[in-house]
Amino acid sequence: MPTTIQINSETLDLLKKFKDSLNAESYDDVINKVLRGGVKKSMYGALGKEKSMKNILRGLRDESDR
């Protein structure tokens, strides 16, 4: 049963972008995926720019492992 909801234009733009990026058939599909946790946020850059991979990996192993 279709229902009408009111959203502002910015929210509509976001829904359109998500719909395109998810290749969803409808806005209902987009809303369901988001609410059910089906959209994963990328963790790219979560560690910041100041940490190099060498510094991140240093110390992950015990001294006895080396």
Question: Please, are residues 40 and 28 in contact by the beta-carbon 8 Å criterion?
Answer: no
Look up tokens 């959209």; give the residue.
39
- Would the pTM count as exceeding 0.75? no
Beta strands of 1-66 (E only): which ranges?
A: none
Collapsed DSSP state (helix, strand, coil) of residue 52: coil
Question: Please, are residues 22 and 33 in contact by the beta-carbon 8 Å criterion?
Answer: yes
Residues 12-46 pLDDT 10s: 999 999 899 889 999 999 999 888 887 777 767 76
